Structure 1
Amino acid sequence: MKIRAYIRVVHNWLWKVFSGYVEDTFMDRQRLLVLIYLMIINTLVMVLRQLGLTGMEGGYFDWGNNLYYVLCCGACVLFLLRLLSLTPTLVIVLLGCLMFNIFHMFYIALFGIGYAYPALVGSVMMMMVTLFLAILSYLKRLTLVIAALSVTAYAVCCLLTQDEHITGIFAGVVGVFVLVWLMGTRLIELLTELSKTNDEMKVTQREIFSLFRMDKAALLSVAHLAGKQDLSPQQTGKLLERIADPEDEEQVDRDLAGWYEQHRTDASLLEQVFPMLSPSQREICKLIVEGYKLREICEVLGKTESNVTCQRSNIRARLQLDKADNLREVLQARLDAYVRSHYPKS
């Protein structure tokens, strides 16, 4: 239990340090952790290799390993400079790992090293680890690329070596990669749907709290009071009615229905006008257009200022805006132009 607590503390600290670089979503949190731990492992391997404590001997292997590490560090530097977003950075690191192992396999197969069988099996295991990391990062397309390239590389090695031990496990290698890819793809789809539903529920929750002019703690207090006093649904409705202060209970229903319809319309319009933005970025755009300031956006969305600022920078980059462009004016102008072109007045 203590180990889990320590790990949780470390993860929270890492998130505070890098929260300004990524979106505040479950997937980005997971991808960030995969990238950080993968770079830590790569660095430890490089240190051990320099000390002569691990790895193969040989100029070709050292050259390939060093090139891969430089590629990873370069991608991470671009990420920290905000010249590369999180997902492309992680894709570069994972593909670099895959290509290094494929290069290693081909070299062994071509030059007939005596320990070819265990070395090739070791490379296959490393490619399987890369596939697992892609699954943990929810990179659905990348999992297919990794599985396909891994199987193809092993098939080429079988043709080059003509070794019965290597070719004898080919069917097993293909079966394992296909099975892991299929199960991983399904897992990614399910978690993606779950994450999307969770984000939608958070938005709805915040809007409902806003409608009743209450925060989460206050509304939960009302629910607790209703349960403690054993109030009926009608009595609880009356209590909420008095808090929201509408004219009557029917007004509550009309307000809720009107809010839901307006929220759905706004979300749909933003998605049509700005398909290049993520749902969380479009949510920030909606608040910007409505005139919310940075601190107010942070309060509404429950995010840090550094995270929202990072998101605004990403929005400007995806919309290809200059530094002199006013983000709110540009967003409003594009929305107005879309409405005029698609919904002309009769």
Structure 2
Amino acid sequence: MNTVTRILVTGGAGFIGSHYVRTLLADPAASVEVTVLDALTYAGDPAHLDAVRGDRRFAFVHGDVCDAELVGKVLSEHDEVVHFAAESHVDRSIAGAAPFVRTNVLGTQTLLDAALRGGVRTFVQVSTDEVYGSVDTGAWTEDAPLLPNSPYAASKAAADLMALAYHRTHGLDVRVTRCSNNYGPRQHPEKAVPLFTTRLLTGGRVPLYGDGSHVRDWLYVGDHVAGVELVRRRGRPGEVYHVGGGTELTNRQLVDFLLAACGADWSRVDHVADRKGHDRRYALDDSKIRAELGYRPRTDLATGLAATVAWYRDNRPWWEPLCGRADR
């Protein structure tokens, strides 16, 4: 008889977390029970979970990862944690860092304490390539120093270090994933790909920071959650794993693709002053997760971006109300 694994997914109503939950429960025979803990801030949407709401293996708890009493109660009933919950928008962190420190650092520490008390078996800390700062050439390996430049990145670096400290100090099985830039359907329109796409689809204009030569590696959300799941199931305690997409683009190249996909041209682009502390280039060496766990990104960039633009074109009722609340 298969043993059921009880998994708590924090931030599971968000873009990436909800994709992970839907993936976990896609197999009706999977021996898992999944609980989502989510505060339902502006970036969380209960509709992301409609596809699994009727699944007897699914439960939802509305709450804050900083609520120690609630977190302790919920975690005592689970075997594993996959921690997606985070404030994640760089521009918002520049405007005000306090919510990022509270959720990303204090929230992670609250979860770690509860995981210790509750005897949690595995704690997966989901993080970002931004903790490393900028790299001119080559790619970061998992042992590279953390040199974050934005308040968001600094808060995630602090959370990663706290999580790894709980492994070294207390023996908690912590595994950290760091991914490159995610994109895909249902991403909040404050982020680059949906921001540009939704503005272009509504006849608006799009901003391009600085000279547009900033470089990012792009990762389809489905490939990201597949990497996280490999780390949850087969990763090693105390290790960091990079989850990369394998395709670098300058911001100008990204905008060029989205203009073509939306039937627009460069007359719709506004060149704006560069973001404060804007990192020039991110690049992850993901050879470790490939060699150890067999990870491979399955969705090439052209296919993934085309599918993403098509989803936004076909789902205006979902994103149009959000655009009114996003930082435009």
Task: Give the helix-richer structure, 1 or 2.
Answer: 1
The answer, yes or no, to whether TM exceeds 0.5 is no
Q: Which TM-score bucket, shorter chain as reference?
A: under 0.3
Task: Give the strand-richer structure, 1 or 2.
Answer: 2
Q: What TM-score does the superposition give when structure 1 sets the normalisation length? A: 0.25
Q: What TM-score does the superposition give when structure 2 sets the normalisation length? A: 0.26
